[in-house]
Chain A
Amino acid sequence: MKAKAFKGGVHPEGHKEVTQRLSIVGSKLPERVVIPMQQHIGAPCEPLVEVGDEVKVGQKIGDTEAFVSAPIHASISGKVTAIEPYNHPTGAKVKSVIIEADGNDEWSQEVKPPGKSVEEMEPKEILNIIREAGIVGMGGAAFPAHVKLSPPPEKMIDTLILNGAECEPHLTADHRTMIEDPEGVVFGLKAMMKVLGVENGIIGIEENKPDAIKTMQEMAEKESNIIVVPLPTMYPQGAEKMLIEAINGRQVPSGGLPMDVGVVNQNVGTSRAIAQAIREGKPLIERPLTVTGAGINTPANLMVRVGTIVEEIIEQCNGMRDDACKVIIGGPMMGMAQPELDIPALKGTSGILVLTESEISYSEINSCIRCAKCVDVCPINLIPSFLGRAGEKGQVEVAEEYHALDCIECGCCTYVCPASRPLTQWIKIIKAEIMAQKKQ
């Protein structure tokens, strides 16, 4: 099966050769972690511990009654020294549980294998394990996994797609996960298929990762209902709308969700985390991430405990070069530039990217020359030049008329604009204004 290319998209330089052959190595055990009670889309958790409590690895320390949320666990053993608002990669201050390590790295009694195989479990049981393990989408958006796996009964789901596109330049953590634990990825996929009762499992991987395609194919061949689909290398191939269209030709309706076209999708890393939760009872307390960019001295793929401070992670990679000037959480197309490095790595942190002076552009904003390059690359078929101008001038109605709310903020339009117009930024701002007006 060959996927068809979606319309639009861009080809930024991949830079993946820097880290794609580096195995994921365990990072140094942090002496202190900062664990925010909000690491996911949905309701924040309430702390279940108090200052002074001793906690063990994998112990649940935050939870909530709300359905759209995911519990949070201690990622090291030690003592809770504070519960207070702390810097967060989103720029806000978020209530966080701060734990000082005792150095024993002792696991909680709560973490244990369920004692039965997936075959023996009911879908509900599996779903509960996924929720209790605090699994969220690890591709970046951090949407609670159990919520995606609980579509309303009227939605007929027939396909589960695993996203191994990893279309953001620089990042290779998903790539390494597929190479190093293909068995885990497929195990998680099968478990999720059982939860949803679907017969089709599809793993989509960009063609720039032939070794991952081969490895996953070998694993999928053992299963009758799982296939691997190579995808054209094109940003944003991993955006869920683009991914689903490429794989089975279905267009997620405007304003809709993948489940409206019978699809649930999850990231490959998420699938592996689900496998570990089911087999070992292990909650999401660590994740692989890529530390890379020309500004980092020793790029690496690290397995990092959730809550480790980004500055320490960078130091483990021998620090930043003198000309480093921008630190991004996530990839270069959609990630967030950070004003400071005293922030924790979260469940959804897929990479830490350090760019140098020569890689960032300061060019001034020019008038739109109507070259239509932004129109041609927009995967959603919008007219970014008009939207950008509406955003720049604060014209809410115009922006709405030209479908600002459909923008997926992929950044292709800004990337390609020869007039250096920050289109995506303007569109994000006007989108927020439209939403605010709608709420009134």
Chain B
Amino acid sequence: MNSKLVVSSSPHLRTPETITSIMIDVIIALFPVALASVLIFGYYALVTIVVGVLAAMVTEAVLKMKTDIMSDGSAAVTGLLLALTLPPNAPLWIPAVGSACAILIAKHFFGGVGNNIFNPALVGRAILVMSWGTLMVGGSDFWPVPGVLNFSRNVAGADVETAATPLEAEIVAMGTGWQELLVGNVTGSLGETSAIAILIGAFWLFYKGHIDWRIPGGYIGTVFILGMLLGDGFYMDSVLMTGVFHVLAGGVMLGAFFMATDMVTSPVTPLGRLLFGVGCGVITMIIRLYGAYPEGVTFAILLMNAVTPIIDRYTVPKKFGEVKS
């Protein structure tokens, strides 16, 4: 028996966690989000999601020249995330092309899982926005399926005239109340509208220890504060509610909990993660308030992805027992 003794360096114990188990946890976390999108926008949302996921998985399998389509699960996550950022009425080739681009350009050109600098799902989305912009802002023409989740659509004090930015105009034109923003019964991208569904999913990721508070906290906190300071209190005539509006409307919630927290493309140092979140928030608000696009989440996170290596480099934590010099 002695001849068979295994020798390896310590430690001799390993967590049961693997890359695949983490990816499965992310998929579980996105389930409520996907479910909400189907409830709000109808079965076509489901078809869009399935196409996005499958396209990503197939692209990955082809590139890796393996028949195992599941692989480590990271492609499925990318496809799912991409699909959830699409408008509810996009033609089906949109998720297919977007997922394929995400996997091919953002992931494999950089050397595969772990080596990509930019969040693949957001790269896919950015390519779609730049190439077929009109198809990607279809949201405001497409209303939630009536009758699934019903809330009164009137909100005191909001009117289209005072809404200063495209995003505000879009939402306010519909007379949306904050309760609806919370539940998600509004127009928007598939997975971005329901804050509650996103929070349920995010809770799972917190519970499993896959994300910490710093990135989403820094992101949402910054959006909230800047929304209060710079939003002119347009929403419900309240500075506070304008901050809430900027957090709940658009893609901030999905971006903060599921996109900015992407492990591969965000900083590893604790301080770096906080700065990254704050940076995402600042850029998002600059684009929202002063930019040409109605929404800035995608580009905010991609820009911060680009500076992640620099952030890591300058936020190395103080080591234990560091001697002050």
Q: Please state if A418 and B15 are interface contacts (CB–CB under 8 Å).
A: yes
- B 152-186 to A, binary, CB cutoff 8 A, 1 in contact else 0: 00000000000000000000000000000000000
Q: Please state if A371 and B12 are interface contacts (CB–CB under 8 Å).
A: no
Q: Please state if B321 and A415 are interface contacts (CB–CB under 8 Å).
A: no
Q: Please state if B269 and A369 are interface contacts (CB–CB under 8 Å).
A: no
- The reply to whether the CB of B292 lies closer than 8 angstroms to some CB of chain A is no
- A 289-322 to B, binary, CB cutoff 8 A, 1 in contact else 0: 0000000000000000000000100000000101
Q: Please state if B15 and A370 are interface contacts (CB–CB under 8 Å).
A: no
CA distance in complex: A320, B72 (Å): 36
Q: Please state if B113 and A403 are interface contacts (CB–CB under 8 Å).
A: no
Q: Quote the shortest CB–CB distance from B229 to chain A (angstroms).
A: 31
From A339, A409, A419, A424, contact of B7 by CB (8 A)? A339
- The reply to whether the CB of A22 lies closer than 8 angstroms to some CB of chain B is no
Q: Please state if B263 and A424 are interface contacts (CB–CB under 8 Å).
A: no
* Residues in B whose Cβ lies below 8 Å from that of A415: 11, 13-15
- The reply to whether the CB of A163 lies closer than 8 angstroms to some CB of chain B is no
- The reply to whether the CB of A147 lies closer than 8 angstroms to some CB of chain B is no
From B4, B7, B266, B322, contact of A370 by CB (8 A)? B266
* Residues in A whose Cβ lies below 8 Å from that of B312: 383
From B18, B264, B321, contact of A363 by CB (8 A)? B18
Task: Give the most central of B8, B11, B22, B322: most A CB within 10 Å.
Answer: B11
- The reply to whether the CB of A69 lies closer than 8 angstroms to some CB of chain B is no
| Interface size, A (range) | 35 or more
Q: Quote the shortest CB–CB distance from B276 to chain A (angstroms).
A: 11
From B7, B9, B19, contact of A366 by CB (8 A)? B19
From A338, A406, A416, A422, contact of B15 by CB (8 A)? A416
* Residues in B whose Cβ lies below 8 Å from that of A385: 268
Q: Please state if B320 and A370 are interface contacts (CB–CB under 8 Å).
A: no
Q: Please state if A337 and B7 are interface contacts (CB–CB under 8 Å).
A: yes
In the complex, the chain B residue whose C-beta lies closest to that of A245 is: B320
- The reply to whether the CB of A380 lies closer than 8 angstroms to some CB of chain B is yes
- The reply to whether the CB of B212 lies closer than 8 angstroms to some CB of chain A is yes
- The reply to whether the CB of B1 lies closer than 8 angstroms to some CB of chain A is yes
Task: Give the most central of A368, A402, A409: most B CB within 10 Å.
Answer: A368
- The reply to whether the CB of B130 lies closer than 8 angstroms to some CB of chain A is no
- The reply to whether the CB of A208 lies closer than 8 angstroms to some CB of chain B is no
Which residues of B from 11 to 29 have beta carbons under 8 Å from A? 11-15, 17-19, 21-22
- The reply to whether the CB of A440 lies closer than 8 angstroms to some CB of chain B is no
From A10, A338, A368, A403, contact of B5 by CB (8 A)? A338
CA distance in complex: A363, B21 (Å): 14
Q: Please state if B321 and A241 are interface contacts (CB–CB under 8 Å).
A: yes
CA distance in complex: A424, B317 (Å): 19
In the complex, the chain A residue whose C-beta lies closest to that of B322 is: A254
From A251, A322, A332, A382, contact of B12 by CB (8 A)? A332
Q: Please state if B270 and A327 are interface contacts (CB–CB under 8 Å).
A: no
- B 258-276 to A, binary, CB cutoff 8 A, 1 in contact else 0: 0000011111111001000
CA distance in complex: A320, B9 (Å): 21
Q: Please state if A383 and B263 are interface contacts (CB–CB under 8 Å).
A: no
CA distance in complex: A133, B192 (Å): 71
* Residues in B whose Cβ lies below 8 Å from that of A328: 10, 12
Query: Total interface residues on B, using CB and 8 Å?
Result: 46
Given known contacts A370-B268, A419-B114, A403 and B15 CB-to-CB distance under 8 angstroms: no
Given known contacts A169-B13, A367-B113, A373 and B209 CB-to-CB distance under 8 angstroms: yes
* Residues in B whose Cβ lies below 8 Å from that of A409: 10
CA distance in complex: A420, B17 (Å): 9
Q: Please state if B18 and A418 are interface contacts (CB–CB under 8 Å).
A: yes
- The reply to whether the CB of A425 lies closer than 8 angstroms to some CB of chain B is yes
- The reply to whether the CB of A375 lies closer than 8 angstroms to some CB of chain B is yes
CA distance in complex: A334, B11 (Å): 6
- The reply to whether the CB of B150 lies closer than 8 angstroms to some CB of chain A is no
Q: Quote the shortest CB–CB distance from B64 to chain A (angstroms).
A: 13
Q: Please state if B320 and A254 are interface contacts (CB–CB under 8 Å).
A: yes
Q: Please state if B22 and A425 are interface contacts (CB–CB under 8 Å).
A: no
* Residues in A whose Cβ lies below 8 Å from that of B18: 363, 418, 420
Given known contacts A370-B264, A382-B319, A414 and B14 CB-to-CB distance under 8 angstroms: yes
Q: Please state if B319 and A375 are interface contacts (CB–CB under 8 Å).
A: no
Q: Please state if B322 and A424 are interface contacts (CB–CB under 8 Å).
A: no
- The reply to whether the CB of B323 lies closer than 8 angstroms to some CB of chain A is yes
Q: Please state if A253 and B273 are interface contacts (CB–CB under 8 Å).
A: no
Q: Quote the shortest CB–CB distance from B125 to chain A (angstroms).
A: 21
- The reply to whether the CB of B217 lies closer than 8 angstroms to some CB of chain A is no
* Residues in B whose Cβ lies below 8 Å from that of A253: 321-323
In the complex, the chain B residue whose C-beta lies closest to that of A336 is: B10
Task: Give the most central of A336, A355, A371, A419: most B CB within 10 Å.
Answer: A371
Q: Quote the shortest CB–CB distance from A400 to chain B (angstroms).
A: 13
- The reply to whether the CB of B134 lies closer than 8 angstroms to some CB of chain A is no
* Residues in B whose Cβ lies below 8 Å from that of A334: 10-11
CA distance in complex: A127, B317 (Å): 41
* Residues in B whose Cβ lies below 8 Å from that of A376: 212, 270
Q: Please state if B209 and A369 are interface contacts (CB–CB under 8 Å).
A: no
Q: Please state if B12 and A333 are interface contacts (CB–CB under 8 Å).
A: yes
From B10, B270, B317, contact of A333 by CB (8 A)? B10
Q: Please state if B12 and A381 are interface contacts (CB–CB under 8 Å).
A: no
From B72, B265, B320, contact of A381 by CB (8 A)? B320
CA distance in complex: A336, B12 (Å): 9
- A 358-369 to B, binary, CB cutoff 8 A, 1 in contact else 0: 011101001111
Q: Please state if B19 and A340 are interface contacts (CB–CB under 8 Å).
A: no
- A 369-395 to B, binary, CB cutoff 8 A, 1 in contact else 0: 111110110011111011000000000
Query: Told that A324-B1, A328-B12, A419-B114 touch, could you supply 12 new A-B pairs with CB distance under 8 A?
Result: A10-B15, A12-B13, A340-B2, A367-B114, A367-B115, A370-B114, A371-B210, A375-B270, A383-B317, A415-B15, A420-B18, A424-B10
The 4 A-B pairs of least Cβ separation, nearest first, read A411-B11, A367-B114, A425-B9, A372-B268
Residues of A bordering B, CB below 8 Å: 10, 12-13, 169, 241, 251-256, 311, 320, 322, 324-328, 332-341, 353, 355, 359-361, 363, 366-373, 375-376, 379-383, 385-386, 402-403, 406, 409, 411-412, 414-420, 422, 424-425, 428
A-B contact pairs, 18 of them (CB 8 A): A241-B320, A322-B1, A326-B6, A333-B12, A334-B10, A337-B5, A338-B7, A339-B5, A340-B5, A363-B18, A376-B212, A383-B269, A383-B317, A385-B268, A414-B11, A415-B14, A417-B15, A425-B9
